[in-house]
Amino acid sequence: MKILVTGANGFIGKNLIEELKNQKYETIYEYDVDKSEDALFDYTKDCDFVFHLAGVNRPDNEKEYMEGNFGFTSLLLDYLKKNHNKSPILITSSIQALQDNPYGQSKKAGEELLFCYQQETGSKVYVYRLQNVFGKWCKPNYNSVVATFCHNISNDIPITIRDREHIISLVYIDDVVKTFISAMEGKECCANDGLYYVMAVNPVKLGELADLLYAFRESRNNLIVPNMAESFVKKLYSTYLSYLPENQFSYPLKMNMDDRGSFTEFIKSPDRGQVSVNISKPGITKGNHWHHTKNEKFLVVSGEGVIRFRKVDGEEIIEYKVSGDKLEVVDIPPGYTHTITNIGVTDLVAIMWANEPFDPEKPDTIFLQV
């Protein structure tokens, strides 16, 4: 299939094109303002499907709304007609088409132009009224509050919120792209009066949006990762990370070091526990404690060691040899005092997971020699 994408350099266009390439669509005609109208004419001779994503959002002159959102659409359709090409066409409109403002009027005019074209030619037309789209590669300080907030907060720039209770409806770029490709493949959802919508809508208050983004930034300090079980939070966190300054992808962790080695907390989660990295010098034993309810998993990734257990009311000592040469998880059940000893000649490195973040006021850690 040969696919024409107008607005190829824009936010939605770039994401769509990359996914089309990922799905092995090899012939993609990418059209944007940097190419001539002759190129557009040639593309409309050959294409089998058109994603018409080009448009004007924030022009210097209000007249450019109609020129970009209606005039260019008219040109595209004229070229398709001149080339006798009845390929289906999907156009991105906006919920602003319901508003009586220059941008909304231009989007509404573009919609009506497509419906007339469909009646005249019999070509299949998909008019998608989009909500506020967010995701990677969206331009901040342009037309997306999510992009602006992500950019500012990740760069320690203040944000302005006039009404924390104001609710906006957001759709994620990957959901948009998935929906568009499904439409191209003939799997679109039912239309409502000829209009289509991306169904995965996320309503959120502006204040809650800002609070989530600030929490993402703070996670580098408190190590608390977001709740990825919530689909919107997972998508928003991925979006936030895409706005990090390129010289700030990394961040340091606090290494608690002594002559025995080190212990470093890596990730914390209220519902998924805590992950830490434990390094023990040769001959060093750590532990000699047990837990009432807390449980752990140890995974040695480098070096050689032995993990020893003893039931708190018993005498038998149980041993598990562990090595970075054979990755094997050892569960640490409650009620067993335990140790981990480096029996090798190099540092023993272990990844340790606990089912709850460490709470110094309720440590649930009782000293007892194995």
d(CA 66, CA 75) in angstroms, rounded, equals 13
SS3 96: helix
Q: Pinpoint the alpha helices (H) of 162-318.
A: 173-184, 206-222, 231-241
Contact 26, 65 (CB under 8 A): no
d(CA 95, CA 180) in angstroms, rounded, equals 17
Q: Which two tokens stand for residue 331?
A: 């569960």
Q: H helices then E strands: how many in the chain?
A: 9, 20
Q: Which two tokens stand for residue 290?
A: 């047990």
Q: Which two tokens stand for residue 279?
A: 């390094």
Contact 344, 282 (CB under 8 A): yes
**Residues annotated as part of the active site:** 103
Q: Please give the order of strands across the beta sheet that includes 329-332.
A: 255-258, 261-269, 273-280, 348-354, 296-302, 329-332
CA separation (Å) from 5 to 29, 67, 134, 138, 176? 6, 19, 20, 17, 15
Residue 164's CB: how many other CB atoms inside 10 A?
12
- Number of residues that this document lists for the chain: 370
Q: Pinpoint the alpha helices (H) of the chain.
A: 11-22, 37-46, 63-66, 72-82, 102-121, 145-154, 173-184, 206-222, 231-241
Residue 189's CB: how many other CB atoms inside 10 A?
12
- Where b means 16+ CB within 10 Å and e means fewer, 68-95 reads bbbbbbeebbebbeebebebbbbbbbbe
d(CA 66, CA 53) in angstroms, rounded, equals 15
Residues facing 307 on adjacent strands: 320, 340
